[in-house]
Structure 1
């Protein structure tokens, strides 16, 4: 195939480190063809200290092998800026790979693969030991199961804009509140770029299902040159599910297609979770399910009960959902791992902040509660559709680790409840009140809610019912460290190891500190400096003077040091540099509150000026 397609001039192995970064090393195809079998068997060496594997690939022990995954789907990455001839472009054969250090597989893809293998092994054993689990899903004998199918899917939300245009937050917020953009018709270059992206996805076999506008954005304008100006739009692209490992690979490819296509039309693309303050962020709801293929070719969804009208879930499905919820303190650090991600998880923006699930108003009426963490997706006419929708990930979450930790949590719940024969017992368990002691779930916590948790509960009530919510990266790991039993869930089957968890924690906290010191604080300082005095004595009122005095006081508190007291920014820097992470986390929360107050106050101040 390669010899018949000379436009494919390079090969590259695509490993994914613990930070979700992919490798891409251009190797001339001639070198690959001289010893293709050796290349596929032994891979290539790289400098592991340059990827996110701290405490594993160190400066003194940096050799890492990129080992091609011969069981995955490979693809050709074409460079549309580099023509090969009049009809073709230069391409690179991208081969998904594993990262191996001293004989140990240490990358995100291998962690997910281990979790899937371990899940299958333990659930097979459970099905053999507890025949009632089989009866509940309509299978006669465990020996009839040929293979497990881990079905998963993500979706991609992102913002696009014309370069050098600044966002008008008030216009964006107003448009969002008026629902002027959601699912509206795309126009101009945005429409063309979206259509071309969807066409490319189809050519790669990713099976796109839909592309549309999301809730964020404002109408663009047409310049004197006839081209669109002031483009600021939020979009979403969806595609068909696949097996879990392939779902992770597909997501990387789709992000690359989106970025390359939209930038070729002169548009900037961001996959950030919260690129614009006070406007809807971008999520990446992750759908996960498990099915089995029988010897006769029939496929059975392990999460669907035999009688769809009688129960929300099968016994295995209930166990999986219970495990996902109970162990979420251990799962969350692999889902929400950056300040940007936490900026999205704010009440009121349809982003989940509480560990709680929704099953539906009743068994025969599936519903979608958009305020909860985990949604049960059901279709009474299609048992294969039953799955869990985890709503907390964002476009820059490491999907491999999100799914690996989630399947580990699900497995814990399945194994803990596999002896229970009555589905009603497990429905009662997930529906218990916070005051009721659970057979598996924790007391003083409620895990199911069919209400709007933002509208129907205060922040205090949410905290009491659903547990305290982490607000910073450090909070997340603090809660993680407090739950040793839940940490152990990740270690089961050697899926995660203590070394891998420690490496991931170090990398994530280092990034948190680095971003605060060198991006977030400097960016906030620039914002504060832009809030300047704009009124004069002749045209001002006493309200203008009072507001400006408040603004001036907040600006000084944030930025100005004195002999008596350091500013908030200085205290935050000092805490980070001194390793006082508890203190830094609290100061970050205070900074976020004051910056929000300052923005709102300055906006009110400017509106009152003539």
Structure 2
């Protein structure tokens, strides 16, 4: 995103006839929130004087300490292209602060900023390229979401088979207008399923871009009479929605994951980072896969990973190393789904990778074969462990992982408590109830 000064924002608001500003932030569980103000309040907003009642936000502060302030990141100022072009609407993404001016420890964006400070102190920068999948479903006569789709297209198909092509195009163009680079968009494997890949950016910008993409997809789908959902597994017998995350560490513009002398062109740093991800993948699974429904996606046969493995090209592995080398060398983590809180997930992934670097861990031998064709006995004989099979298992693994807990800070316990309540609630409800709730929320 283009960087802005206070004066430039004030000038743009006047020149572009902006009348409404959305002060956006993300709660602990990954829901995008906002306070809307008119342009007359812009000076107060830029001064960080817009307040919110934090006690009414799930996972935030207690009622006796409810006052909080929104401090906007000026670099995130953008006009929303899907809103009216007369009396335009802009947004700024905010950090949540305490009344004394200190960053709120339970703000996911602040959690990621703190994690990134650690890597910056090492002279490194984390770049992230996310790939988000979603379904476009029809709505019923009353406008409620369904799991029906009019298209019968498959992987990389195009119109007229692909009925969501125009919506996907509108989303990509809207994001580009907001300064968010779109690398590719296409129809995915299942009927009604789509993918948009964002150009890599620094980790904080990438997390912001993920939240903006999800808002754009849902808004423009609704405008076109469709319902978009990022629910991990809305259909029992179809592929689920993943959010593959491409990670790389740079130093002074040089990709530190690349080593031309290595037979696989992977540096020792990259291998240690991979080892750290594998070491803590069970611990951050409850962040990367935060719903009861997430674990219905992570089953064999649908290109979702189940085992703690890595490979140079094997798409059944948890971690894949795409063929690109040089500045494009990267680690693709395939377990996260798009309902995750990207700020917390990236903070935990970074902590895991850095732990591998600090401890000089070595990854296990890579697995070239199709893991879906291997029996449990064969996997066990190779010492291959599984990812958690339920949200409850993932929460227990998270509690037992001090690296992940430390990365989240003092609000880790509140995240676990909230997700455990969700697990208890969902497991006593019929699947249709869960489906309806997830379709609408995610």
Please state which band the TM-score falls in when normalised by the shorter chain: 0.7 to 0.9
Q: Which of 348, 359, 363 matches 1:405?
A: 348
Q: Which of 164, 178, 185 matches 2:158?
A: 185
Partner of 2:402: 487
Q: Does the residue aligned with 1:117 lie in a helix, a strand or coil?
A: helix
Matching of residue 247 in structure 1 with residue 200 in structure 2: no
Q: Does the residue aligned with 1:285 lie in a helix, a strand or coil?
A: strand
Partner of 1:437: none
User: What is the CA–CA distance in structure 2 between the aligned matches of 1:431 and 1:472, rounded to whole Å?
Assistant: 25
* Contact 1:43-1:68 within 8 A present in 2 as well: no
Q: CA 1:167/1:95 → structure 2, altered by over 3 Å: closer, same or farther?
A: closer
Q: Does the residue aligned with 1:258 lie in a helix, a strand or coil?
A: helix
Partner of 1:73: 76
Partner of 1:111: 111
Q: Which of 16, 20, 35 matches 1:25?
A: 35
Q: Does the residue aligned with 2:68 lie in a helix, a strand or coil?
A: strand
Q: CA 1:288/1:319 → structure 2, altered by over 3 Å: closer, same or farther?
A: same
Deviation at 1:79, TM superposition (A): 4.9
User: What is the CA–CA distance in structure 1 between the aligned matches of 2:408 and 2:146, rounded to whole Å?
Assistant: 43
Q: Does the residue aligned with 2:132 lie in a helix, a strand or coil?
A: strand
Matching of residue 60 in structure 1 with residue 64 in structure 2: yes
Partner of 1:98: 95
Partner of 1:300: 254
Deviates more, 1:398-407 or 1:204-213: 204-213
Question: 1:138-191, CA deviations, whole angstroms, 9 ceiling, x for partnerless residues?
Answer: xxxxxxxxxx4321111121111221296579x99xx7xxxx611111337522
Partner of 1:387: 330
Partner of 1:580: none
Partner of 1:462: 379
Partner of 2:54: 48
User: What is the CA–CA distance in structure 1 between the aligned matches of 2:314 and 2:336, rounded to whole Å?
Assistant: 16
Q: Which of 231, 238, 241 matches 2:197?
A: 238
Matching of residue 273 in structure 1 with residue 225 in structure 2: no
Matching of residue 257 in structure 1 with residue 210 in structure 2: no
Q: CA 1:150/1:168 → structure 2, altered by over 3 Å: closer, same or farther?
A: closer
Deviation at 1:43, TM superposition (A): 3.5
* Contact 1:303-1:316 within 8 A present in 2 as well: yes
* Contact 2:134-2:231 within 8 A present in 1 as well: yes
Partner of 2:274: 321
TM-score (norm 2): 0.87
* Contact 1:119-1:408 within 8 A present in 2 as well: no
Matching of residue 10 in structure 1 with residue 7 in structure 2: no
User: What is the CA–CA distance in structure 2 between the aligned matches of 1:111 and 1:3, rounded to whole Å?
Assistant: 30
* Contact 1:79-1:90 within 8 A present in 2 as well: no
Question: 1:86-134, CA deviations, whole angstroms, 9 ceiling, x for partnerless residues?
Answer: xx2443321111123464332111111111111222x34xxxxxxxxxx
User: What is the CA–CA distance in structure 1 between the aligned matches of 2:203 and 2:433, rounded to whole Å?
Assistant: 39
Deviation at 1:479, TM superposition (A): 2.3
Deviation at 1:261, TM superposition (A): 1.7
- Aligned pairs for 1:190-205 within 5 A: 190-205=164-179
Q: Does the residue aligned with 1:462 lie in a helix, a strand or coil?
A: helix
Q: Which of 358, 370, 373 matches 1:452?
A: 370
Matching of residue 149 in structure 1 with residue 125 in structure 2: yes
User: What is the CA–CA distance in structure 2 between the aligned matches of 1:189 and 1:213, rounded to whole Å?
Assistant: 10
Q: Which of 491, 494, 513 matches 2:424?
A: 513
Deviation at 1:352, TM superposition (A): 0.5
User: What is the CA–CA distance in structure 2 between the aligned matches of 1:241 and 1:488, rounded to whole Å?
Assistant: 26
Q: Which has the higher contact order (CA 8 A, sep 6+)?
A: 2
Q: Does the residue aligned with 1:280 lie in a helix, a strand or coil?
A: coil
* Contact 2:96-2:107 within 8 A present in 1 as well: yes
Deviation at 1:289, TM superposition (A): 0.8
* Contact 2:182-2:199 within 8 A present in 1 as well: yes
Q: CA 1:168/1:91 → structure 2, altered by over 3 Å: closer, same or farther?
A: closer
Deviation at 1:370, TM superposition (A): 0.8
* Contact 2:136-2:226 within 8 A present in 1 as well: yes
Q: Does the residue aligned with 1:377 lie in a helix, a strand or coil?
A: coil
The total of aligned residue pairs comes to 417
Partner of 1:430: 363
User: What is the CA–CA distance in structure 2 between the aligned matches of 1:150 and 1:273, rounded to whole Å?
Assistant: 26
User: What is the CA–CA distance in structure 2 between the aligned matches of 1:264 and 1:308, rounded to whole Å?
Assistant: 52
Q: CA 1:59/1:489 → structure 2, altered by over 3 Å: closer, same or farther?
A: closer
Deviation at 1:52, TM superposition (A): 2.7
Q: Does the residue aligned with 1:150 lie in a helix, a strand or coil?
A: strand
Partner of 2:8: none
Deviation at 1:461, TM superposition (A): 3.6
